[in-house]
Amino acid sequence: MFPKLSFRQLLLGVFLLIAALLGATSVHALLTLDRLAAHSREAGRHAIALTENAQRLAERSVAMERSARQFLVLDDPAFRDRYADAWRDAQTVLQAIADGLPGTPPGAFVDWRKRGEAAWAVLETPRMKRAQRQQALNQALNGLPALSHLLEEEVKREVERRNQALLDELDQRRAILTSQVAMSIALAALLALSFGAWLSRPLKQIEQAIHRLGENQYGDAIDVYGPGDLRRLGRQLNWLRQRLFDLEADKSRFLRHISHELKTPLAALVEGVSLLEDQVLGALTPQQREIAAILRQNTASLQNQIEDLLRYNAANFEAQNLRRQPCDPAELLAGVVASQQLQMQARGVRAVVEGAARPPRLDRDKIAIAVSNLLSNAVRFSPPDGVVRFALSEHQRALRIDCVDQGPGVAPDDAARVFEPFYQGERQPPGARRGNGIGLSIVREYVVAHGGSLQLLPSEAGAHFRIELPYED
């Protein structure tokens, strides 16, 4: 997806897309408000026009009645003409009201016209007696005020209806705008989260790749999916992984070769020192025996160092080949403690195992070696009558093994490098031969190979190491 675009271009595109979405919503809201304002102005003009026409119709009806009655009394044609003018004006107003009230029944308008026409017919009939004309005129005009009032009420109801319709439309538009704004915000947030998660995935892959390189895990190829610049960075990291893998392989071959080459002359030295100490070639003077003892001690030390070097090199290789199976952690710790019972008795140290946890799937032999190295290290630094405590527990779907001793602990300056191979801390047990500094390195190799972690935790007294091994899903 977008492999040719860079991380910066995609990020800018996402921001522009979100801005466009929110901008479109804002423009739609402005257009809706403008349309509502136009509807409001139109409704106001219509209400004013209807009200004015209703008032004008009432005035025309009064003028018609007054002119008709004056004509009957004075028999002046001018008053009849006034009635005719008021009648024509009233018909125009009545038609405007009828056009503005499409929902009103036409009976009121028809009745109003009939009464006006009946009154006009009376005014145009000169042969009728005065009393008859007065009675006919009263019958024609008496209902006009009631009809005008009825039409005024209809106008009021129409104005109220239109106002209510405008308010309903306003509420409806407001609800629509609210939902659109909420949906736009939710969609913008969803887009931001989706693109953020998609863009952060290659960064997480790069972080994990760098972490694996830092943990000396070179077996899995590094393949980063995402923008073009991050994919190029992934290819460069993969080249670096291959280069480090080759260097690690060269180092392992060199160590195996040099260790093998050293063992042959070393065996000859050991055999020669043994012959000298056994006085096969003749009796030795006290000075010669002292020199032979020094030779024996140093050859034994050199042999141990070579064997430790081979053991560390083998651990690096074996850590990549795990044979996982369900294993009871309490039983594994009990077996490790039993295997070192003689060493603990010789130093007057004892070990206890506390807690319990579910059996994980792990390589029992390698974790046993890791725990055994922790225990031998703790026994080596523990004082007489000291106690080494192992605690089992579960934390966040991981098996946790804590190892706490009562020794001098790890110096603060050594804490950052204590897991490095061949590093020896400044706090060493009195009278003991200095180790080669690979025991904790092997522990770390086996724990990391299981996807776990090894930590040195702060402790008021002694050293506190913690192993965490994740449970497989």
Contact 162, 46 (CB under 8 A): yes
Confidence check: pLDDT of 318 > 70: no
Nearest of 137, 129, 120 to residue 82 by alpha carbon: 120
For residues 67 and 96, membership in a common domain is answered with: yes
* Residue 161 domain flag: yes
Does 56 fall in a domain? yes
453: pLDDT strictly greater than 80: yes
Question: What's the pLDDT at 422?
Answer: 66
Q: What is the arithmetic mean of pLDDT over 208-225? A: 76
Q: Is residue 261 located within the same domain as residue 341? A: no
CATH of the domain at 275: 1.10.287
Q: Give the domain-ending residue among 183, 214, 240.
A: 183
Asked whether the predicted pLDDT for residue 83 surpasses 70, the reply is yes
Q: Is residue 160 part of a domain?
A: yes
**Does some domain include residue 446?**
yes
Q: What's the confidence (pLDDT) of residue 432?
A: 46
Looking at residue 88, its pLDDT comes to: 80
Burial (CB < 10 A; 0-12, 13-18, 19+), residue 213, is middle
Q: Please check the confidence at residue 218 and state whether its pLDDT lies above 50.
A: yes
Q: Are residues 430 and 308 in the same domain?
A: no
Do residue 393 and residue 425 come from a single domain? yes
Which range among 132-146, 203-217, 243-257, 344-358 has the greatest average pLDDT? Answer: 344-358
Is 452 part of a structural domain of the chain? yes
* 342 lies in the same domain as 463: yes
Is residue 397 left, alpha or beta, with left meaning phi > 0 and alpha meaning psi from -120 to 50? left
Residue in this structure with the two tokens 């009233």, named with its chain if needed: 90
- How far is 404 from 391, CA to CA, in rounded Å? 9
Residue 159 pLDDT exceeds 90 = no
Name the band, by pLDDT with cuts 50, 70 and 90, for residue 431: very low
User: Is 338 found in the same domain as 310?
Assistant: no
Same domain, 21 and 142: yes
Q: Say if residue 124's pLDDT is above 50.
A: yes
Q: Are residues 335 and 404 in the same domain?
A: yes
At residue 32, the pLDDT reads 78
How high is the mean pLDDT of the chain?
78
pTM of the model: 0.47
Report which listed range, 35-44, 309-318, 427-436, is most confident: 35-44
61/57 Cα distance (integer angstroms): 6
CATH number at residue 365: 3.30.565.10
User: Is there a single domain that holds both residue 301 and residue 347?
Assistant: no
**Per-range mean pLDDT, top range of 106-120, 190-204, 235-249:** 235-249
Q: Is residue 125 assigned to a domain?
A: yes
The mean pLDDT of 16-22, rounded to a whole number, is: 77
pLDDT of residue 389: 93
Instruction: Please state the domain count of the chain.
Output: 3
With pLDDT > 70 as the criterion, what percentage of the chain qualifies? 82
| Segment among 225-239, 388-402, 447-461 with least mean pLDDT | 225-239
CA distance 103 to 160: 14
List, as own/partner pairs, every contact residues 361-365 make where C-beta atoms lie below 8 angstroms and the sequence separation is at least 24, other chains included.
361/324, 361/325, 361/326, 361/327, 361/471, 361/472, 362/322, 362/324, 362/325, 362/327, 362/450, 362/469, 363/322, 363/323, 363/324, 363/325, 363/446, 363/449, 363/450, 364/325, 364/327, 364/332, 365/323
As a whole number, mean pLDDT of residues 445-473 equals 87
Q: How many residues does the chain have?
A: 473
- Out of 61-65, 301-305, 415-419, which region has the weakest mean confidence (pLDDT)? 301-305
pLDDT exceeds 80 at position 369: yes
Whether pLDDT at 204 is above 80: yes
Average pLDDT over residues 182-198: 78
Question: Averaged over 138-164, what is the pLDDT?
Answer: 73
Q: Are residues 285 and 413 in the same domain?
A: no
Q: Look at 407 and 419; give whichever has higher pLDDT.
A: 407
> Which are the contacts of 226, defined by CB distance < 8 A and separation ≥ 6?
7, 198, 199, 201, 202, 205
Triad 240, 241, 247: Cα angle to 5°: 90
- Nearest to residue 217, comparing CAs of 366, 320, 313, 310? 320
- Identify whether residues 162 and 18 lie together within a single domain: yes
Are both 159 and 300 inside the same structural domain? no
Query: Of 61-70, 130-139, 337-346, which one has max mean pLDDT?
Result: 337-346
What are the b/e assignments for 334-343, b being 16+ CB within 10 Å? Answer: eebbeebeee
> What is the pLDDT at residue 352?
93
pLDDT score at 328 = 92
The CATH number of whichever domain residue 93 belongs to comes to 1.20.120
Share of the chain above pLDDT 90, in %: 10
Query: Would 203 be classed as within a structural domain?
Result: no
Does residue 140 lie within any of the structural domains?
yes
Average pLDDT, integer, range 377-402? 90
* Containing structural domain, residue 285: 228-318
Element (H, E) at 415: none
Higher-pLDDT residue of 441, 388: 388
